[in-house]
DNA sequence: CTTATGACATATA
DNA sequence: TTATATGCCATAA
């Protein structure tokens, strides 16, 4: 692949697709991996268009492991259900054992 | 070209 | 401690 031809959004999708099952990562971690650690907002904003993609957007949360983007999913608890289906414990929009399920692309790729 | 947007992150009070 | 303000930057219009 030629990253130069991929827009920032597309790069975000590529990284998000590589998130292992049962793991999650943060917007900042993805942005950092892409070399734009100040562009965490762009990562989240990019997910807006990830609905038509094969992107596991539910595995991407903010730095605190909070499901801030759950309102962008169909139901009010769909995102949480998807995570719990993968073995990730979630309580009140907060991922439990976040450090354990956290997946850092810059350290795994 | 300029302005607006935002599923974040960090700084400050 | 929580709440508010500011910076950040790719994309859309």
Q: For strand C, is any atom closer than 7 Å to the CB of A8?
A: yes
CA of residue A80 to C1' of nucleotide B11, angstroms: 30
Q: Which nucleotide is nearest to A42 (CA to C1')?
A: C10
The footprint of strand B (CB < 7 Å) covers: A 26-28, 40-45, 47-48, 50-51, 57-58, 60, 62-64, 68-69, 71-73, 79
**A 45-74: CB within 7 Å of strand C:** 45-46
SS (H, E, C) A71-88: HHCCCCCHHHHHHHHCCC
Is the model's pTM score more than 0.85?
yes
**What pLDDT does A2 receive?**
54
Weakly modelled stretches of chain A, pLDDT under 50: none
Yes or no: say if A34 and A12 are a contact pair by the CB < 8 Å rule: yes
The DSSP bridge partners found for residue A95 are A90
Give the model's pLDDT for residue A50. 84
pLDDT for the residue A38: 86
Can you give the pLDDT at residue A105? 95
Cα separation, A29 vs A27, in Å, equals 5
Query: What domains sit in chain A, N to C, each tagged with a CATH number?
Result: 3-104 (1.10.10.10)
Q: Are the C-beta atoms of A46 and A8 separated by less than 8 Å?
A: yes
pLDDT value for A62? 95
Tokens 């993968």 correspond to A86
Bridge partners, A61 (sequence order): A26
């Amino acid at each position: 692949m030629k990253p130069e031809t991929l827009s920032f959004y597309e790069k975000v999708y590529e990284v998000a697709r590589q998130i292992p099952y049962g793991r999650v990562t943060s917007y900042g971690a993805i942005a950092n991996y892409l070399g734009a650690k100040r562009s965490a907002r762009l990562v989240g904003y990019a997910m807006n268009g990830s609905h038509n993609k094969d992107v596991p957007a539910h595995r991407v949360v903010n730095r605190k492991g909070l499901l801030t983007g759950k309102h962008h999913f169909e139901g009010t608890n769909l995102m949480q259900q998807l995570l719990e289906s993968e073995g990730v414990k979630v309580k009140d929009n907060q991922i439990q054992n976040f450090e354990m399920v956290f997946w850092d692309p810059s350290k795994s790729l």
